[in-house]
Amino acid sequence: GMGLGFIQIGCFGTICPRTTENFVKIATEEAKSKIWDNTLRYAGTELHRIVPNHLIQGGDVHNLGGVGGESVFGQMFQDENFYLKHDQKYVVAMANKGRDTNASQFYITLKKKISALDGKNVVFGIVMNGREVLDFIAERYGSIDGKPKKKVFIAWAGMSFGWRMIPINADDPPTDFVLEDHWNFTSPSKLKVD
C-alpha cells in the first residue's frame, strides 16, 4: 500500500450541532454500535464511491461496501436543517437513503455547485486542508459509475485542535498512525496505494 495524505475537515457545529456531534463521535471512536458488538469508527473504512468532478463518498462503518451505516444516536437520525448549500467545492454532507435517514455515511463534493442535493442532504462541514489529496484520489481511483479502481481507505480519524483530521489510505489499513493525545497525532498520513 501507499499513503495518500490527509484531509482536515471543519464542521459547522453551531449550525448543525447534532450532525457534527455524530460525525465527531464516530471519528474519535467515542460511541458503541447499538447493532453490532463494536465501536463506531471511520478508521479502516472504505471510500466506496469515487466520481471524478462530482463527489467522494465513504463512512460505511459496517464496511458493507456502501449499504451499511449507523449513527451514534441509533440506526438513523433526522435531517437537522438545510441551511448550508452545495454551493462550493469540498463541502461535506451526510449521505442518506431519503428523508431523515442519516447514519454515518458522508460525501465530499468536487464540483462548484450541486443544487440537486440542496434540501435533500445536510451540509455540515468543509475540507480545510488536503483538497489536492481528494482531487488526486478522484482522478486516480475514480470512475464514472463511482466504483473505485482500487480500494481507498480512511486510515485514521480523530481530532486536532477542534478540526476533524482524516488521513486517507488506499488498500491496506495502516498501522503507522499514533495518537499522541486527544488533540494531536504524530505522523500525518502516508497516503497509500498499491
Asked if 47 contacts 168 with a C-beta cutoff of 8 angstroms, the reply is: yes
Domain boundaries, the chain: 2-185
User: Could you read off the pLDDT of 127-182 as tens digits, one per residue?
Assistant: 888 899 999 999 999 999 999 999 998 888 877 654 444 555 444 333 333 222 23
pLDDT tens for each residue of 45-99: 999 999 999 999 999 999 888 999 999 999 999 999 999 999 999 999 999 999 9
pTM of the model: 0.84
* 3-state SS class at 31: strand
Domain 2-185 fold: Cyclophilin (2.40.100)
CA distance 156 to 80: 27
